[in-house]
Amino acid sequence: MRFFGKFIKKNYDPKTDSDVLFSLSSAYLTLESKMGLKNSGRCALSLKSISGMYFNEMKDDIKRFLDISKTDFELTYRTVTDSYGYLWIVLEGKRMEDLLAGISAVGDTVDEKGFSNQLLAAIFEFTNDRNKKQYLIYNYKRNSFYPFVPVDGGQKTRNTEEEIKMMATIGDEVPLEKDMTLWYPLWDLPL
Residues in contact with another protein by CB under 8 A are: 7, 10-11, 34-35, 46, 48, 82, 84, 86, 120-121, 137, 139, 141-142, 156-158, 160-161, 163-165, 167-169, 171-172, 178, 180-187
115 closest CA partner among 86, 76, 82, 78: 86
List residues bridging with 90 in a β-sheet.
44, 78
Pick the closer one to another protein by CB: 68 or 182.
Answer: 182
Nearer to another protein, 54 or 184 (CB): 184
| Least gap, CB of 160 to another protein (angstroms) | 6
Q: Least separation, in Å, of the C-beta of 9 and another protein?
A: 10
Q: How far is the CB of 70 from another protein (least distance, A)?
A: 29
Please state the separation of Cα 150 from the chain's center in Å.
16
Question: How far are the Cα atoms of 64, 113, 118, 156 from residue 86, in angstroms, in the given order?
Answer: 20, 17, 9, 19
Q: Which residue lies nearer to another protein by CB, 73 or 135?
A: 135
In whole angstroms, the minimum distance from the beta carbon of 125 to another protein comes to 16
Pick from 110, 108, 167, 168: nearest CA to 135: 167
- Report, in this order, helix, strand and coil percent for the chain, each rounded to 5: 40, 25, 30
For residues 97 and 76, give the distance between their C-alpha atoms in angstroms, rounded to a whole number. Answer: 14
We find the least distance from the C-beta atom of residue 129 to another protein, in angstroms, to be 15
